[in-house]
Chain A
């Protein structure tokens, strides 16, 4: 078992804010990307490509062909975002299907352990091993879970695919739009019914997520005081001073920002105005999904990210909070409603970087969702990452001492 890097406390959408350093996207070193950079471009190592976040390390582990599957967390898209930017399959199950025991809680009502693999079949294998009721996580449903295998021959003629019109956001890149359109066409040409649907509260979803997330974060991060585990400051003047110093030293800007915002929204005078209001809006958003699925739609088809992966220098032009708000736009509403969703790599952008397409399913219909995703994957036949250049030029890398490498079994 290997451990991977991520944004600190899973807060972020670039995996650049971890204390061990940032995560770099292997596609930034691929032949597909490098040949499109042009001969005159001097490859500056400071201009590497981000992996997305917050579970960037897990996505990179699979994308770089280091392992077959990895786990991440998905609270607002933290599994699907890096999966899409790294060209792999990223799956968020229905809330309550996978146990959260062992997952450091960020937002208890939205967190789901995410699964990242090279293909959709592998997702169902990993899901089969992990899903089901866990007495140690009382939010897992008690319905019996049967591990399943996805069929190889899939017919989509009886399928109804919904395209939520509000997901056509101005920030969506032309390539993102094109791959979304192409996906819709694929289904239509194969005989599926493709309809436009409306999720009218979509514009408020990211705001609602922001309030609820910071509020729950403020509560969940309160346990990090340095006494029972983790970093502890040297300050010994008083208990409160110890806590304050430990948290000052131990949390980065993004985490502290969310804790303080969350505490603000939870103040007695603000509680109804912000927190309860956000909870009401959450119900409206969840109802939007229920209404659409209740009208005969089987799955929704949306982009996963606004565009392909940015370079690091481009990404850091905005702060962590702004980036999260931008990057999570298509992914977080699914967490508010508890629906399953999966991102499948679709096409390479003009720059040679992957773009993904997201499928959203009905709660606890994960098998149907994955079947649709598998059919799509079969039609697309996404190309494999070409890291030959990187492997040939090993002098560019620090050469590890072979005798010190321990071969970990892959999942």
Chain B
């Protein structure tokens, strides 16, 4: 009869790793060094609701918003990022010395490349019908080369665009 009771004692407590928001769970301490990247301040161990959880700087918030063209929207969004970083930091306890990064599970096979022959297409109308703003088969965009406004201005115009 397959018995888990003996095996349970030997099994790895998986969920000890999975509760970044449970500051009181003793298994949370297993996480190891909290080395965040640049722009993330180390809050370090000590009194506080989330021991070891790094704070995301305003500079980083602005930088990411510009790169992603997606806004954090509120403090909750920033905390979500801080949680994600803290969670990802657990990777650093794994020893990957001499291990090559893996891009794809099909790395041992050669990628299929089809012959450079036109087999289909000629569907301009269908494709352009997906776009909201089209003038004579051109997709219309507002003027480019204008930098994204500063954070305070961005936040206010985004509130209004909702």
- Considering only residues 207-247 of chain A, those with a C-beta below 8 Å from chain B are 207-208, 210-211, 214, 218, 225-230, 232-245, 247
A204–B94 touching, CB < 8 Å: yes
A240–B70 touching, CB < 8 Å: no
Residues of A within 8 A of B21 (CB): 318, 322
Task: Digitize A42-55: 1 where CB-to-B-CB distance is under 8 Å, 0 elsewhere.
Answer: 00000000000000
Q: Which of A120-128, A272-280, A375-383 lies at the interface with chain B?
A: A272-280
Task: Digitize A308-332: 1 where CB-to-B-CB distance is under 8 Å, 0 elsewhere.
Answer: 0000000000110110011001000
Distance (Å) between the CB of B46 and the closest chain A CB?
24
Cα A53 to Cα B8 in complex, Å, equals 29
Tell yes or no: B139 within 8 A of A by CB.
Answer: yes
Residues of A within 8 A of B13 (CB): 169-170
B37–A280 touching, CB < 8 Å: no
B131–A280 touching, CB < 8 Å: no
B112–A259 touching, CB < 8 Å: no
Cα A169 to Cα B4 in complex, Å, equals 11
B15–A171 touching, CB < 8 Å: yes
Distance (Å) between the CB of A201 and the closest chain B CB?
7
Residues of B within 8 A of A259 (CB): 68, 70
Q: Which of A1-9, A78-86, A139-147 lies at the interface with chain B?
A: A139-147
A168–B8 touching, CB < 8 Å: yes
With an 8 Å Cβ cutoff, the count of chain B residues facing the other chain is 77
Known contacts A228-B130, A259-B68, A279-B103; A244 and B87 CB within 8 A of each other = no
Tell yes or no: B147 within 8 A of A by CB.
Answer: yes
Distance (Å) between the CB of A92 and the closest chain B CB?
13
With an 8 Å Cβ cutoff, the count of chain A residues facing the other chain is 95
Residues of A within 8 A of B67 (CB): 263, 267
Residue in A165, A208, A253 whose beta carbon sits within 8 Å of that of B91 in the complex:
A208
Tell yes or no: B158 within 8 A of A by CB.
Answer: yes
Residues of A within 8 A of B17 (CB): 203, 206-207
Tell yes or no: A16 within 8 A of B by CB.
Answer: no
Known contacts A202-B14, A239-B142, A260-B81; A244 and B100 CB within 8 A of each other = no
Tell yes or no: A368 within 8 A of B by CB.
Answer: no
Known contacts A181-B4, A281-B91, A363-B105; A238 and B69 CB within 8 A of each other = no
Residue in B15, B81, B109 whose beta carbon sits within 8 Å of that of A257 in the complex:
B81
A281–B94 touching, CB < 8 Å: yes
Residues of B within 8 A of A168 (CB): 4, 7-8, 11
Known contacts A169-B14, A202-B14; A241 and B104 CB within 8 A of each other = no
Which DSSP category, helix, strand, loop or mixed, fits chain B's interface? loop
Task: Digitize B102-134: 1 where CB-to-A-CB distance is under 8 Å, 0 elsewhere.
Answer: 111110010111100000000000010011110
A239–B143 touching, CB < 8 Å: yes
B8–A227 touching, CB < 8 Å: no
Residues of B within 8 A of A230 (CB): 130
B106–A141 touching, CB < 8 Å: yes
B131–A228 touching, CB < 8 Å: yes
Residues of B within 8 A of A169 (CB): 11, 13-15
B146–A261 touching, CB < 8 Å: no
Closest residue on chain B to residue A337 by CB atoms: B105
Residues of A within 8 A of B81 (CB): 257, 260-261, 264
Known A135-B114, A225-B69, A229-B131; 18 more pairs at CB < 8 Å:
A133-B112, A139-B111, A141-B109, A168-B4, A168-B8, A185-B1, A207-B90, A228-B131, A241-B148, A244-B70, A245-B157, A256-B71, A256-B73, A260-B81, A280-B101, A321-B83, A322-B83, A325-B18
A-B contact list, 22 entries, CB within 8 Å: A133-B112, A135-B112, A139-B106, A165-B7, A166-B12, A168-B7, A184-B2, A207-B88, A228-B139, A235-B157, A238-B147, A239-B144, A239-B146, A240-B69, A244-B70, A247-B70, A256-B77, A279-B101, A279-B102, A284-B99, A286-B102, A329-B18
